[in-house]
Chain A
Amino acid sequence: MNIIDRRLNPKGKSLPNRQRLLRRLKSQVRKAVAQSITGRRVREIDAEQSVPVPVEGIGEPSFRKGSSGVRDVVWPGNPKLVKGDRIPRPGGGDGEGNQASDSGEGEDAFTFSLSREEFLDIFFEDLELPDMVKRRLMQTVSSVPSRAGFSVSGGPQSLDVVRTMRNSMARRLALSRPRDEDVEEMEARLAEAEAAGDEETVARLKEEHARLRRRQRAIPWVDPVDVRYRRFEARPVPIAQAVMFCLMDVSGSMNEHMKDLAKRFFMLLYLFLQRRYEAVDIVFIRHTHEAKEVDEDTFFTSRETGGTLVSSALDAASRIIAERYPIDGWNIYIAQASDGDNMSSDRDRVLSAMTASLLPACQYFAYLEVSDPPSEDHGGFQDISDLWRTYETLLGSSVPLAMRRANSAGEIFGVFHELFSRSGINQKA
């Protein structure tokens, strides 16, 4: 008989089976994910999602008997029945306990929770940010040497003297190497004896002295076995860090609906960056006729009144980039949400801010123009806004700028997809 402890064996042996199931349910799960994005509050977006999965595609058919026909069953626990009695059919057709579920033609729908990772994997499936491989941040990981104990080999520059001498002392004590003082004392006594002319003692002391000398030579002061070097390991540090600028117009023309759309847009971008980069900073800049850097709560909740100067926000962004986020250390993403209103006098300043500082500095500039749901009196027709027209002139093959319009929460997912899917960029670029 053997007793084997398997508890440390890897768990999740059936994980590949789960992945196969998810792949099989892909279209259902994707639909469910898209729906849950539409209906959910932003903050809940990366919580575990319980996704009800419809049954198509995961039934396991077989030749099995239905509920038709005659059968005899034997049940335990007769209360007081006698032969010939009749009892009503339980549950309208549920015959023999577990046979009941097989008798129906349909199969049980069942729901299960996608883990956060699975949810996001599906969510981001074919998304890819453009030109990820850029500048010196091309490699996602660099390394710094960090101390990792001691080793017995190494270069002289990393010799650890204290550790080496401690080993050497321990070894000398253990092997009882004669100390220099002992030898000197012996020499003093020898000299004394020689002066006294005690032949016998001199001979004995000489022998003793020679022995000490020999032992001193045989046991070295520092032996190669004592030597220790500081050991360094290359510890990977994420240099793939990104900063995301959220720019939003909070002037009176932006209503709650529009802000909600914007919020979702930022949220999605944030999630995406969070997955791509080890560290993601977010800078919230809101603007009316002047721009302010604020925290997240203020950004989304408080209202302000005033005119609209988009250039103020752009300037603020480029100032913050210059101050805090040098472009050789950060991937810079800018997401702007606006209803498109801008003072026409601001046009030139917007253009110069974009071309001179922001577009060259950032990896990607995403502009989402939010609007009210199309109402009857407009008949779904939308004016082309000032800002849209301004940005349109910037579009070009090598410009990392993408822009879209959205007017309902359900559209955001699609907009996002289009914005960041590789093909979308290629078309735009």
Chain B
Amino acid sequence: MTLLYEGREWNFDKLRRAYDAVAQIATEDLGLDTYPNQIEVITSTQMLDAYASNGLPILYRHWSFGKRFIHDEALYRKGYQGLAYEIVINSDPCICYIMEENSMTMQTLVLAHAAFGHNHFFKNNNLFRQWTDATAILDYLTFARDFIASCEERHGVEAVEHVLDAAHALQTQGVNRYARHPRRSLAEELAREKERRNYEQTTWNPLWTTVPGNKADEVPAEEAIPDEDRNQPIEFPEENLLYFLEKNSPALRGWEREILRIVRNLSQYFYPQRQTKVMNEGCATFVHYEIMTRLHERRLIDDGAFLEFIHSHSSVAFQPPFTDPRYGGMNPYALGFAVMRDIQRICTDPTGEDRAWFPDMAGNGDPFGTLRDIWAQYRDESFLLQYLSPKVIRDFRMIALRDEAGVPYFEVAAIHDEQGYRDIRAMLARGYECARSDPEIEIVGANLAGDRKLLIENRVHDGQRLSAASARRTLQHIQSLWGYGVRLTEINAQTGKPFADGEFEA
């Protein structure tokens, strides 16, 4: 075999060759199934631009993206933060940005990581399949940008900005966590109606008409429910605040509803990514590690390139201990990679402990098949709960701490020993559950007969109250979208009682 490339410099020819080699390993050895790839080479400034717009190639305009850009640029210029080597977009074809500054080894790594690792995950993971539409996202982004630009022209930048500000504030409360029952179309509604009539006709029995007292119970349907409520049934409770306001707010105009819808759709688009950070990065890191190692084994890259790869791989998948000044939380790359490598080990070379903990997959000899299945079925929380092995817990020397506000110390609740494995596993998994880290907020009602005040509840678990100043300002945004008063009540989920100081109004 001849080397794919030599030296640092990359060019399009080498890229193509490297891509083909990587693709061969990815599909034949690892059995990955990906969207077609579109590799785009960009400069560092363009990378900063992409950062500012959540990594999306096209996005509407808003000052908060400018703020993010200035922030990232300052960090980058001062050298506090390097730029990502790539950005990959969950779309079909899968767009993968690579930076021109990268060396050829880095480009190969990036292709393996993003164009195959992330790409496979996007295409196969259940959450992404259920909640995102990769074929439509680019068109939708274009539509969103053009629509908002046309709104700015027609209604003024400030009016649009006002709606966007409010919508952004509710972004995390703008996702559906569960699939909604699809609304019946008119045709379906009519068909049901007809079916019901048929049933009544076929089962009509004149005997019943002879039962006395029947007439008195009959209430004309028109009088039973007031008109307004019958025409627009509002369903409570509703946890998707943006959806609720878009559909039901009496104050919004058509274009404003559409803007809410755009923000809501984008938020929904990102929701799977928030739930699969560890898995997504773990999958990509695992894939690039396998591919690069195999490239080296087959003498397609030389030792120098492999060492460069090892260097950058180990700095990406490095987990500093919490006592280290570099510690900034659990590194999703490190955690995901470690767990997946461990699954590979358990499949091929299990110990007695593994057989006890993972009887169904220990020693099954098919690590990639097992992993592909895991990548498709799980999200971070369920993945860690199921597959975090005692060995990884030991390797990471994990400890669980109880953090109670107002107490000047943390108490160690569990460590990496026999008694602690399951506790640590459960606690770590809980930490990755979005539904737990986001506050539980629902619209519970609206005083429709009176002042139309919107009633919102926050069910507080474990005493984790809302950040008050931020909540108050968010409430003002809701008020401006709803058009009438809004009240937020914090309720203790355990006792069901409201907090004494847990009421906000706007």
Contact = CB atoms under 8 A, between A and B. Distances in A.
Given A21-B70, A70-B402, A1 B19 contact: yes
A74 B427 CA distance: 7
Contacts of B321: 75-79
B471 interface: yes
B173 A2 contact: no
Contacts of B424: 74
Interface stretch (A8-16, A33-41, A216-224, A415-423): A8-16
A69 B63 contact: no
Contacts of B405: 67-70
Interface string B38-54: 11111101101100110
B380 to A, nearest CB: 13
A88 to B, nearest CB: 5
Given A6-B40, A69-B465, A72-B430, A77 B320 contact: yes
Contacts of B400: 72-74
A1 B431 contact: no
Contacts of A76: 319-322, 330, 396-398
Contact of B39 (A4, A17, A71, A74): A4
Given A6-B46, A20-B161, A81 B12 contact: no
Given A21-B63, A72-B401, A74-B424, A105 B329 contact: no
A7 interface: yes
Contact of A5 (B41, B172, B396, B464): B41
A3 B15 contact: yes
B67 A21 contact: yes
Nearest to B413: A72
Contacts, number: 266
Contacts of A89: 403, 407-410
Interface residues of A, number: 62
User: Looking at chain A's contact residues, is the secondary structure mostly helix, strand, loop, or mixed?
Assistant: loop
Nearest to B327: A97
Contacts of A70: 402-405, 462-464
Interface in B213-227: none
B460 interface: yes
A66 B465 contact: yes
A87 B410 contact: yes
Nearest to A79: B323
A62 interface: yes
B470 interface: yes
Contacts of B465: 65-66, 68-69
A14 B52 contact: yes
Interface stretch (B163-171, B245-253, B306-314): B163-171
A60 interface: yes
B277 interface: no
Contacts of A22: 66
6 nearest A-B residue pairs (beta carbon): A77-B321, A69-B463, A17-B66, A69-B464, A97-B329, A21-B66
12 contacts: A3-B16, A7-B42, A20-B63, A61-B471, A70-B403, A70-B464, A72-B402, A73-B403, A75-B401, A78-B416, A86-B409, A98-B329
Given A12-B45, A20-B63, 14 more contacts: A1-B115, A4-B41, A14-B52, A17-B62, A20-B62, A20-B157, A63-B172, A63-B441, A64-B172, A72-B400, A75-B322, A78-B415, A81-B399, A112-B74
Interface of A: 1-7, 9, 11-14, 16-24, 58-79, 81-89, 95-98, 102-103, 105-106, 110, 112
